[in-house]
Structure 1
Amino acid sequence: MIDAFSPAYFTQKGGTYVGDSRELLAALPDNSVNLVMTSPPFALQRQKEYGNLDQHEYIDWFLEFAKLVHQKLKDDGSFVVDFGGAYMKGVPARSLYNFRVMIRMVDELEFFLAEDFYWFNPSKLPSPIEWVNKRKLRAKDSVNTVWWFSKTEWPKSDITKVLAPYSDRMKKLIEDPDKFYTPKVRPSGHDIGKGFAKDNGGAIPPNLLQISNSESNGQYLSGCKAVGIKGHPARFPAKLPEFFIRMLTDPDDLVVDIFGGSNTTGQVAEVEGRRWMTFEALPEYVGASAFRFLDKGMTPEAMKELYERIVAGESIPLDEYRQQSVLTL
């Protein structure tokens, strides 16, 4: 599928590639990808160590990738992008860059906005510091916009795969509707009766996704610590790509992340039985991301060897290291 490039590491389900995502995307066949799930570097005013552009340059830069994504998606495929909010430089007024991206994606690249989602991270630290902590002019910024784009008006989707657990009150209502609810006609004239008291296995989730991003002791960070390197500074939690991978794809579908980072998307796709590919420009981030696919029990020496081999440009089958970790348990 992408024969001109060798993965930095790979499993039976997928692989991670080091390079410019535009070149890697161009090497994929058109109409071959079911889902692109990604979180690009945000257009922040303060430079981050993982790279970000000025807000005015950012939109044109991102649309270069999006144009290629449109070509590679299947007709029923989806493109889900997590964008963090930002302020204008030097003033407590919001930037509209993430909304401008969304509008240009639809107007110029002929994507459809299937739905807008909002990721609420209750564990996010108060920011921006100047306007929240110091001057106390604004509430802390705890919500990211997550745009779900599609190539046509009818992308593949099944909300029943991501049903939310019922509340305790709903569980009681399902058990005994007559005891807890008397049907009434709404002011709108709509009579809902008792049909909603049926047990459907869970509740339809809202488009506000409440997911904490507070991982502190997972296999990825443990591996980074053992090797003596810093983890990627902008990791999103597994529950975020998990939601969209489950809702928008089936087993053996192809999931691609064009800004791989620490490869949360690939890890989730692997667990969910999807084929996957991730692209990341920095070999150091790719080397560390391999720790997500290792079992507990691998020695720090073996992890460091794996990291150094990946950074040096080798193509590593991770099954070799998985077998080592099993033998040490």
Structure 2
Amino acid sequence: MIKPKYQTNKGKIFHGNSIELLSNQLKEELKGKVNLIITSPPFPLNNKKQYGNEKGEEYKEWFIKLAPIFSDLLTDDGSLVIEIGNAWEPERPVQSLLHLECLLGMVKHPEANLRLIQEFICYNPSKLPSPAQWVTVNRLRTVDSYTHVWWIAKDDFPKADNSKVLRPYSKSMMQLLKRQSYNSGKRPSEHKISEEGFLKDNGGSIAHNFFEMEALDEKRDVRLPHSVLSFSNTNSNDYFLKTCRTKGISPHPARMSGGLVNFFIQFLTEEGDLLLDPFAGSNTTGYCAEKLNRKWVSFEVKEDYINQAIIRLSNPNLKPPSKHL
């Protein structure tokens, strides 16, 4: 049996091809036990990146084959969350349908019994202009500034609780709660607003499926759930970046947002549940799982990125200390 490259009291990371390992050596150990698979697989880019990625039809075939493997790993009420960017046709200013074909292929796979529960959009205005040829060189297209996040499951009612990921109330809602009155009655849309429907303080408003990682409008507060902001607005990740700089290491270029991972962990799992990331990179998923008291298993094919994951998990804020194997 393959041994993990590194582990903590809550989780372990394996070095190798996750799909091969999960189809063979680790299949029975994890089958039906994973509460949440959350990952950002290599995007279907036209140019090969250092973190590895397939292209075109090869990518689609590879992606769709993941469906029955992931389905077997999940508990009956478990979820699969995948972040993926847009693709473009090679040497053409035309957006590819590849990512949509991948989604359809996955949820329609006859051996997987999966369905799309909800799509989320993660907007990041700090992304570099892409595709560069058609945005900054020829000036024919606008900046591709968001990624898709697909929430997929085996059942129509996977474990989920949106009360765990509430957004802060708006200023107007806070004022309404304070004065305990508002204009009720029938709206032009024919919706009937009850007299007391908005008077109860639930601790925050229900989260949206649009993540504004930076403010669209500087004059307006970004009302992301605390689970997102708690990662983004603290120094919890500075240890990793500072250590990488000190050691002269270039951090993984496509790290998944820790705030995004936090959100779905708290939304879709409970303490003690098992998370899995088959394409871990520097292991943001494992780090967030440690902070939120979940068990985790990660896989990474490149040893350099496992070394970065070890740096991340060596953060002194994570207790008890981790160990090499």
Q: TM-score, normalised by structure 2?
A: 0.86
Letter of the structure 2 residue corresponding to residue 85 of structure 1: N
- The change in CA–CA distance for 1:320 and 1:236 in structure 2 (over 3 A counts) is closer
Structure 2 residues not aligned, in runs of 5+: 215-231
Q: Please give the residue correspondences for 1:170-319 in structure 2 after superposition, counting only pairs within 5 Å.
A: 170-178=173-181, 181-193=182-194, 194-212=196-214, 218-295=238-315, 318-319=321-322
- Residues 256-283 of structure 1, C-alpha deviations (whole Å, 9 max, x = no match): 0000001001100110100001100011
Quick check: 1:82–1:145 contact (8 Å CA) kept in 2?
A: yes
Compute the displacement of 1:20 (Å). 0.9
Please give the alpha-carbon distance, in whole angstroms, between the structure 1 residues aligned to 2:8 and 2:313: 9
RMSD of aligned Cα (Å): 2.1
Please give the alpha-carbon distance, in whole angstroms, between the structure 2 residues aligned to 1:64 and 1:104: 9
- Residues 28-64 of structure 1, C-alpha deviations (whole Å, 9 max, x = no match): 3321100000000100112211111112110111222
| Residue of structure 1 in register with 2:217 after alignment | none
Quick check: 2:67–2:107 contact (8 Å CA) kept in 1?
A: no
Q: Please, which moves more after superposition, 91-100 or 181-190?
A: 181-190
Q: TM-score, normalised by structure 1?
A: 0.85
Q: In the alignment, which of 19, 24, 38 is matched to residue 22 of structure 1?
A: 19
Please give the alpha-carbon distance, in whole angstroms, between the structure 1 residues aligned to 2:282 and 2:323: 21
- The change in CA–CA distance for 1:220 and 1:142 in structure 2 (over 3 A counts) is same
| Residue of structure 2 in register with 1:141 after alignment | 144
The count of corresponding residues between Structure 1 and Structure 2 is 297
Letter of the structure 1 residue corresponding to residue 19 of structure 2: R
SS at match of 1:66: helix
Does 1:8 find its partner at 2:14?
no
- The change in CA–CA distance for 1:320 and 1:40 in structure 2 (over 3 A counts) is closer
| Residue of structure 1 in register with 2:97 after alignment | 96
Structure 1 residues not aligned, in runs of 5+: 298-316, 322-329
Compute the displacement of 1:203 (Å). 0.8
Q: Please give the residue correspondences for 1:318-329 in structure 2 after superposition, counting only pairs within 5 Å.
A: 318-319=321-322
Compute the displacement of 1:187 (Å). 2.2
Quick check: 1:87–1:93 contact (8 Å CA) kept in 2?
A: yes
Q: Please, which moves more after superposition, 64-73 or 253-262?
A: 64-73
Quick check: 2:7–2:323 contact (8 Å CA) kept in 1?
A: no
Please give the alpha-carbon distance, in whole angstroms, between the structure 2 residues aligned to 1:208 and 1:220: 27
Compute the displacement of 1:21 (Å). 0.4
- The change in CA–CA distance for 1:101 and 1:17 in structure 2 (over 3 A counts) is same
| Residue of structure 2 in register with 1:308 after alignment | none
SS at match of 1:82: strand
Compute the displacement of 1:14 (Å). 0.5
Quick check: 2:5–2:15 contact (8 Å CA) kept in 1?
A: yes
- Residues 160-203 of structure 1, C-alpha deviations (whole Å, 9 max, x = no match): 1111111111111111132xx22131123321124123211111
- Residues 125-163 of structure 1, C-alpha deviations (whole Å, 9 max, x = no match): 221111111222211111111111001111100011111
Q: Please, which moves more after superposition, 131-140 or 238-247?
A: 131-140
Q: Identity, % of aligned pairs?
A: 41
SS at match of 2:119: strand
